[in-house]
Amino acid sequence: MLVVSEEVREALAAHRPVVALESTIIAHGLPRPRNLQVALELEEAVRQEGAVPATIAVLDGQPHVGLDKEQLERVANENGIRKLGHRDLPLAVATGASGATTVSATALLAARAGVRVFATGGLGGVHREWTVTQDESADLGLLARTRITVVCAGVKSILDVPATLQRLETLGVAVAGYATVRFPGFYLSDSGHPVDWTLQSPAEVAAVMRAQDTLDGPESALIVANPVREAEQLDPELHARVLADALQACEAEGVTGQAVTPFLLDYLVRHTDGASLSANLAAVRGNVRLAGRIAAAWAGA
């Protein structure tokens, strides 16, 4: 049922580096035609680091690990492409649906295909007002039982960051800052919270991955929190002001449940004149390049 592209399959068989990439940024995160341009750019960034890109999506009910240009174009341009978390995969497969994969679905399919390194923007997490809404991203539970290394810029800053870090600890998911002692905040280099562990090189990350396998503990993920460069981050004062306004607007308009995250992200883009989107893309590019280097270190281990 899992369709692995010939390029990815050959790379895995030869123990060459492979990096998984999600497809929601293509289908739902960016306007056309910029979405396809970014998708191709990210794949090229992986190649420049000596690794093979494996963008993941479901097309006509078939999960694909590694897309060709025509398939990327389809994800970018076809109307009706669904947004699929890991819980949606059986439904999409059984009904022949097409969809872009979120962090949880991408991580699951990548791990099933044997891809160990995955690059994304920011993780989902515990939502603000959790005590009222009980709203928590499915990313966290899936990563608690999936052996994959996720390179990300922390969790989305619209979420409850300290609660998310606590939840990751409770779930037993390892978190390390990459060349930083501070947990990044997606658009921001520093969320205001520390990390317990810092890794300084792709080789160190690969060593932790080997140790995970040697210890043979629970099949949980390794989160490598890679901050966006300070020069490319969203201005922290602008971020704080616009996010406060966005939260007020969300409450005033009665936005709840799954609609909250896209509402807040869209509000940030519109009220920062696109600066939040620029910071988002800068973070993703940095994560993709680092993931390529980590995959190369892992393949050479």
Residue among 148, 46, 66, 167 nearest 107 (CA):
148
Question: Could you read off the pLDDT of 110-149 as tens digits, one per residue?
Answer: 999 999 999 999 998 887 766 556 677 889 999 999 999 9
138 is in an annotated binding site: yes
Q: Where are the beta strands (DSSP E) in the chain?
A: 3-4, 18-21, 52-59, 62-65, 82-84, 99-101, 117-119, 149-152, 174-178, 182-185, 188-194, 198-199, 222-225
94 by DSSP, 3-state: which? Answer: helix
Question: Could you read off the pLDDT of 52-68 as tens digits, one per residue?
Answer: 999 999 999 999 999 99
Q: How confident is the model at residue 47 (pLDDT cuts 50, 70, 90)?
A: very high
Specify the higher pLDDT residue, 264 or 6.
6
* Numbered ranges of CATH 3.40.1790.10 in the chain: 1-115, 119-301
Name residue 176's beta-bridge partners.
224
Least confident of 118-127, 145-154, 184-193, 251-260: 251-260
Rg of the chain taking only CA atoms, in angstroms: 18
**DSSP per position, 196-219:** S-EE-SHHHHHHHHHHHHHHT---
60 is in an annotated binding site: no
First to last CA, the chain: 30
266 is in an annotated binding site: no
Q: Residue 24: what pLDDT?
A: 94
CATH number of the structural domain 119-301: 3.40.1790.10
Q: Residue 258: what pLDDT?
A: 63
14 pLDDT more than 80: yes
**In the predicted model, what is the mean pLDDT of residues 151-167?**
93
103 is in an annotated binding site: yes
Q: How confident is the model at residue 259 (pLDDT cuts 50, 70, 90)?
A: confident
Residue among 130, 75, 119, 69 nearest 99 (CA):
75
Average pLDDT, the chain: 94
Whether the CB-CB separation of 195 and 181 falls below 8 Å is answered with yes
277 pLDDT more than 90: yes
Q: What is the distance between the alpha carbons of residues 201 and 26, in angstroms, rounded to a whole number?
A: 29
Specify the higher pLDDT residue, 251 or 42.
42
Whether the CB-CB separation of 291 and 17 falls below 8 Å is answered with no
Question: Could you read off the pLDDT of 194-233 as tens digits, one per residue?
Answer: 999 999 999 999 999 999 999 999 999 999 999 999 999 9
Asked, as a colleague might, if the bond just before 33 is cis with ω within 30 of 0, I would say: yes
139 is in an annotated binding site: yes
Q: Residue 223: what pLDDT?
A: 98
Q: What residues are annotated to the active site? A: 22, 156
CATH number of the structural domain 1-115: 3.40.1790.10
